[in-house]
């Protein structure tokens, strides 16, 4: 945030800020109540909390009967998300390079095909994927759903990476080759660093979509041992017998915390995504 632009001298920003503040006030209030509600109780029908309590956060140290432990679920979610991010980054960064630089037969066809794949809403495929996973024995396993989710998100990543590789000047690679480096070394040591902002962006993006993915794990990995947070959260309200809205909210907050942390740490990179690339 060091290069925040100075307020213009002949243009007052106060009215704009006031207007924007007013418009986003309802959102702020809602978020405030979301967090407030998780640590307080209030009289039915009243908006003002009357006591502080941690009972809604009880799920952190007490596993309810019929539910899996929150920590197992969180671990599952982390494994799920990190694996997806890893697979997408690894495959996209390599496939993008190959499509951008090497002589691939039927490159145009391949690129178009990848795009078509991306255009499919994953829901339309879910029945057939279910059958395939069932058949090869990966139904109700983290590996299965990781592979499916990564495969569905990959086309976008490949296209994004290809676009970034296209902007890296050829000469850098030629120089690397005549300097004696192998093609792989050239890719890893010379080309990859040039598109680091894109890798960061894609990684962050994949992490966020993986973290919030619901429908695929819900259908393909519903078992309590492989549950992820989004599925756990949904199971809370699906359960009509002991409906607990405050716990639902607390789990929701718990679910968002990693995303918020990620934003705090990577905000700089998010800002820099368009400032990177090769200069001069």
Partner 1 sequence: MRILLDKFSKSFGTTSVIEDMNLEVGSGEMLALLGPSGCGKSTTLFAICGIHRPTAGRILFGDRDVTNLPSQERNVGVVFQSYALYPHMTVEENIGFPLTVRRVAASDIKKQVAGIAALVHIDNLLDRKPSQLSGGQQQRVALARALIRRPDVLLLDEPLANLDAKLRLEMRSEIRRLQKETGITAILVTHDQVEAMSMCDRIAIMKSGEIVQVATPSQMYQDPRTAFVAGFLGNPPISFLKGKAAHGAFVSTDGKLQMTLPALSGIADGTALTLGIRPEHFGTAGNVPVEGKVTFAETQGRENLYDVVLPDGSVIRSIQPVRDDVTLGDQVRWGIDSKSAFVFAEDGTRL
Contact between 108 and partner 1 per CB under 8 A? no
Closest by CA to 222, choosing from 155, 140, 145, is 140
Cβ 241 vs Cβ 223: under 8 Å: no
CB of 131 to partner 1, least distance (A): 46
Residue 14 near partner 1 by CB under 8 A: no
Q: How many residues belong to the site for partner 1 (CB under 8 A)?
A: 21
Closest alpha carbon to 198 in 235, 159, 236:
159
117 binds partner 1, rule: CB under 8 A: no
136 Cβ contact partners less than 8 Å away, ≥ 6 residues apart: none
- For 277, residues 6+ apart whose C-beta sits below 8 A from its C-beta are 164, 167, 194, 195, 197
User: Does residue number 273 form part of the binding site for partner 1 (CB under 8 A)?
Assistant: no
Contact 142, 221 (CB under 8 A): yes
Q: List, in order, residues 6 or more apart from 72 with CB less than 8 Å away.
A: 225, 227
Report the greatest alpha carbon distance in the chain.
76
Q: Is 104 in the site for partner 1 (CB under 8 A)?
A: no
Near partner 1 in 20-79, by CB under 8 A: none
Residue 188 found at the interface with partner 1 (CB under 8 A)? no
- Binding residues among 192-251 for partner 1 as defined by CB under 8 A: 193-194, 196
For partner 1, which is the closer residue by CB, 175 or 259? 175
User: Judged by CB under 8 A, which of 178, 238, 257, 264 binds partner 1?
Assistant: 178
State which of residues 190, 246, 270, 273 lies at the interface with partner 1 (CB under 8 A): 190
Residues near partner 1, by CB under 8 A: 169, 171-172, 174-182, 185, 189-190, 193-194, 196, 278-280
């Amino acid at each position: 945030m060091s290069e925040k632009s100075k307020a213009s001298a002949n243009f007052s920003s106060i009215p704009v800020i006031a207007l924007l503040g007013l418009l986003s006030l309802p959102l702020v209030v809602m978020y405030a109540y979301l967090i407030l509600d998780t640590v307080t109780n209030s009289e039915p029908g009243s908006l003002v909390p009357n006591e502080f309590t941690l009972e809604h956060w009880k799920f952190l140290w007490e596993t309810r009967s019929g539910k899996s432990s929150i920590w197992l679920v969180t671990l599952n979610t982390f494994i799920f998300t990190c694996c997806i991010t890893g697979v997408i980054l690894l495959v996209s960064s390599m496939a993008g390079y190959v499509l951008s630089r090497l002589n691939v037969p039927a490159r145009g066809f391949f690129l178009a095909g990848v795009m078509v794949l991306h255009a499919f809403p994953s829901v339309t495929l879910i029945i057939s994927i279910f059958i395939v996973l069932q058949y090869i024995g990966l139904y109700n396993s983290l590996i299965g759903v990781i592979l499916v989710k990564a495969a569905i998100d990959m086309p976008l990543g490949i296209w994004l990476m290809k676009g970034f590789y296209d902007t890296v000047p050829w000469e850098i690679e030629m120089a690397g080759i005549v300097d004696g480096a192998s093609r792989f070394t050239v890719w890893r040591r010379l080309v990859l660093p040039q598109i680091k902002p894109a890798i960061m962006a894609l990684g962050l993006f994949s992490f966020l979509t993986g973290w919030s993915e619901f429908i695929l794990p819900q259908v393909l990995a519903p078992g309590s041992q492989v549950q992820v947070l989004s599925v756990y959260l949904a199971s809370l309200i699906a359960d009509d017998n002991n409906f607990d809205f405050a716990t639902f909210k607390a789990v929701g907050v718990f679910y968002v915390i990693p995303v918020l942390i990620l934003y705090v740490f990577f905000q700089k990179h998010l800002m820099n995504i368009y400032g990177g690339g090769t200069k001069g």
